[in-house]
Amino acid sequence: MNPVKAVIAANRFGLGAKPGELERIRRPETWLLDQLQGPSRTPAELGRLPDSASVLVEAQALRQAQREARSDDEDAVKKYGRWARGHYVDQASARYRHAAATDLPFHERLVHFWCNHFAVSADKQPLPTIAGLMENEAIRPHTSGRFYDLLLAVETHPAMILYLDNQRSIGPGSTLAKRANRRRRDREVGLNENLAREILELHTLGVDGGYTQDDVTSFAKVITGWSIGGAGERGRFADGEPGHFEFREAIHEPGAKTILGKRYSQSGIEQGRAVLSDLATHPSTARFVSSKLARHFVADVPPTDLVDRMVSSWLETGGELASVYRVLIEADESWTAAHSKYKSPHDFVISTLRAFRHVPDRPQFIVGALDLLGQTPYRPGSPEGWPDTAEQWGGADSLYKRIEWSNTVARLIGSRIDPVELGNAVLGQTLDPETRKAISRAESRVQGMTLLLASPDFQRR
C-alpha cells in the first residue's frame, strides 16, 4: 500500500480522514469504487426528515394564515418564519451530522458536488424548507447513475421549479393564455425563462455550450407546464397532487419547437424529457460537467488530458456517471501530489468534525460556523452555486476567520487530544515536518490544535 495515496483518497476524494480511517484504506482505488453505490439503506440522520411534498403543503397553509392574519397579530406573522427556520436547521444539521460520521465519504462528497452543481439557494421562500430535501430526494438516489436520470429528477423537483420560477411560466399559445387574452387579462400571462436558461447555462451545456437566446426562449416554451400541484391559492393552479411535480397541460405551449437546430414534435411533458435526454448526452454537457468534476477533485485548473478522457467515457456510455468517476479514480493525475486543493469552508468544517470524531448535537454549532466562514448551508446565493477554486475562496479575511474558528474549536473540543497524534492520524506522512514541529512546540494543546487546523497541510486537500 502507498500511504500517501490513502491520505489523498481520504482527504481529497473523501471528506477528511477520521482517526483510524487511513489504516483501513488498503487499496485506495478500490476503497473509492466500492463507495459508488452509496449506503444500502437511507442513513438514519436523513431518514428522519419529512418529504418535500408534505412540507410544501404545510408551508402553503401557514403562509395563507399569515396573509389572512391581522397585521398586529405578530404571532401569526412570525409563525411561518419560525417554522421555516426549524426545517432549515433540521436539514442542514442532518446533512453535516451525517457527513461527520459517514464511512462512505466519497459518495457523500459526490452528493454535495451535485447539490452544488444543481444549486438552489435558501434565500427565497419557501426554499429554506426544502433545499436540503431536494438533495436527498432528487440527487442522492442518482449520484452514480445516468446523468439524464439525475437531471430529470432535479428539474422536476419542486425546489428547483420554485427556485427558478417555472411553476407559473405560461405558454403564450396555451389554452389558458388564449382564454386570458380574450378576457384581456394579459398581465399575468407569459413566459418566465429563468429555469430554461439556467438548465442550459449551468446544468448542462455550459455558457459556451453553443446555444442562443432563441434556444432559451424555445426551451422555456418546451417546459411551460412543468409546475407543482396545488401551487397557488388561486383556482387555476390549485389542482394536482399538492406539493408534487405536476404537468399542467393548460399552460403548456403547444406545437413543435426547435432547439440547437433539432425539431421536437413530441407533445406534453414528453417534449421536455426528450430535450433533457439530448442535453444530457450532448458533447458540450459532457465537457462542461467533466471539467467541473475534475476541478473539484484534482486541481483548480483541471488537466486537459484527464478531462478529455472523462468526456470520451461520458459520450461512450451515454452519461453513465459511475464510468466517468472511474476514469477520474484511475487517472494518474488524481494521485500526483497531496494537498493540491484549498478547502472550501464546507470542506474545512466537515474535515474538522471528522478529525475530532465529533458529531455536534447543537445544530447552531454547524450552521453558525459555516455562516461565519462564508458558506451558509444550502445558501450559495445564486443558481451558479459555490465557487470551487482557491482564487475565489482565498480572501484574506476568510483565512483569518478560519484561524479564529480553529482557535474556538480547539478550545471547545480540542483540549483533551494530543495535536501531534491527531495530525499524524488524519494527515499521515503528508503532515509537513515543519508543521509537526510547530505543533509539538506549541504552548498548549489548544494552541497546538489551532496550529494544526489552520496549517496549510490541513487547509488543503
Binding site for other proteins (CB under 8 A): 123, 164-165, 168-170, 187-194, 197, 201, 207-208, 213, 216, 342, 372-374, 381-382, 384, 390-401, 403-408, 434-435, 438, 442-443, 447, 450-451, 454-456, 459
Nearer to other proteins, 286 or 373 (CB): 373
To other proteins, the closest distance from the beta carbon of 434 in angstroms equals 7
To other proteins, the closest distance from the beta carbon of 145 in angstroms equals 28
To other proteins, the closest distance from the beta carbon of 286 in angstroms equals 20
Q: How far is residue 93 from each of residues 128, 153, 350, 365, 412, measured CA to CA in Å?
A: 13, 24, 12, 9, 19
Question: How far apart are alpha carbons 348 and 15 in whole angstroms?
Answer: 9
Nearer to other proteins, 188 or 421 (CB): 188
- Which of 173, 363, 344, 147 has its CA nearest to residue 249? 173
**H or E, element range at 419:** helix 419-427
To other proteins, the closest distance from the beta carbon of 238 in angstroms equals 17
Cβ–Cβ under 8 Å, residues 450 and 406: yes
Question: How far apart are alpha carbons 436 and 257 in whole angstroms?
Answer: 63
Nearer to other proteins, 143 or 406 (CB): 406
To other proteins, the closest distance from the beta carbon of 394 in angstroms equals 6
Cis peptide before 126 (omega within 30 of 0): yes
To other proteins, the closest distance from the beta carbon of 212 in angstroms equals 9
Nearer to other proteins, 42 or 192 (CB): 192
HSE (side-chain half, CA atoms, 13 Å) at 158 = 29
Nearer to other proteins, 66 or 192 (CB): 192
Nearer to other proteins, 17 or 220 (CB): 220
Nearer to other proteins, 180 or 426 (CB): 180
SS3 state of residue 257 = strand
Strand pairing class (257-259; 262-264): antiparallel
The total number of residues shown for the chain amounts to: 461
To other proteins, the closest distance from the beta carbon of 390 in angstroms equals 7
Nearer to other proteins, 68 or 397 (CB): 397
- Structure-block grid coordinates of residue 194: 429563468
Nearer to other proteins, 166 or 290 (CB): 166
Question: How far apart are alpha carbons 376 and 272 in whole angstroms?
Answer: 33
To other proteins, the closest distance from the beta carbon of 378 in angstroms equals 15
To other proteins, the closest distance from the beta carbon of 455 in angstroms equals 6
Nearer to other proteins, 155 or 193 (CB): 193
Cβ–Cβ under 8 Å, residues 290 and 303: no
SS3 state of residue 282 = coil
The type of residue at 368 is G
To other proteins, the closest distance from the beta carbon of 373 in angstroms equals 8
Nearer to other proteins, 23 or 214 (CB): 214
Question: How far apart are alpha carbons 177 and 194 in whole angstroms?
Answer: 19
User: Torsion over CA of 439, 450, 392 and 322, rounded to 10 degrees?
Assistant: 80
CA angle 240, 54, 114 (to 5 degrees): 95
- Which of 133, 128, 127, 165 has its CA nearest to residue 50? 133
Write the DSSP string, 345-375: HHHHHHHHHHHTT---S-HHHHHHHHHHHT-
To other proteins, the closest distance from the beta carbon of 450 in angstroms equals 6
Identify how many contiguous H helices and E strands the chain contains and give both numbers.
Answer: 25, 4
